[in-house]
Amino acid sequence: MHTATTAPVARLHGRHDVRIADEPVPEPGPGESLVRIEAVGLCGSDLHWYEEGGIGDARLDAPLVVGHEFAGVVEGGALDGRRVAVDPALPCYRCEPCLRGDRNLCLSVAFAGHGATDGALRRYLAWPDHALYPLPEGFDGVTGAMLEPLGVALHALDLGHVRIGDSAAVVGCGPIGLLVVQALRAHGARVAAAVDPLEHRRAAAVESGAEAGVAPAEVSGSVDVVFEVSGSEAAVDAAIALARPGARVVLVGIPDEDRTTFRASVARRKGLSLIVARRMKEDVYPRGIRLVEAGLLDTDRLVSHRFALADTAEAFAVAVARTGLKVVVEP
Question: With contact defined as beta carbons under 8 Å apart, do 302 and 146 qualify?
Answer: yes
pLDDT tens-digit series, residues 127-167? 999 999 999 999 999 999 999 999 999 999 999 999 999 99
The Cα–Cα gap between 267 and 240 comes to 6
Assign 159 to helix, strand or coil: helix
- Evaluate if residue 263 carries a pLDDT over 80: yes
Please state the separation of Cα 16 from the chain's center in Å: 21
pLDDT digits (tens, 9 = 90+) for 98-117: 999 999 999 999 999 998 99
Q: Which of 54-58, 77-81, 210-214, 222-226 has the lowest mean pLDDT?
A: 54-58
**What is the spatial distance between Cα 91 and Cα 279, in angstroms, rounded to a whole number?**
12
Is beta strand 326-330 parallel, antiparallel or unpaired with respect to 303-308? parallel
Is the Cβ–Cβ distance between 227 and 160 less than 8 Å? yes
How far is Cα 215 from Cα 193, in angstroms, rounded to an integer?
10
Length of the chain: 331
Q: What three-state secondary structure class fits 133?
A: strand
For residues 219-230, average pLDDT: 96
pLDDT tens figures, 275-289: 999 999 989 999 999
For the chain, domains (ranges, CATH) are: 6-146+299-330 (3.90.180.10), 150-276 (3.40.50.720)
pLDDT for the residue numbered 2 = 65
How confident is the prediction for the chain on average, in pLDDT? Answer: 96
pLDDT band at 1 (very low <50, low <70, confident <90, very high): low
| pTM for the predicted model, two decimal places | 0.95
What pLDDT, on a 0 to 100 scale, did the predictor assign at position 73? 98
* pLDDT level of residue 55 (50, 70, 90 thresholds): confident
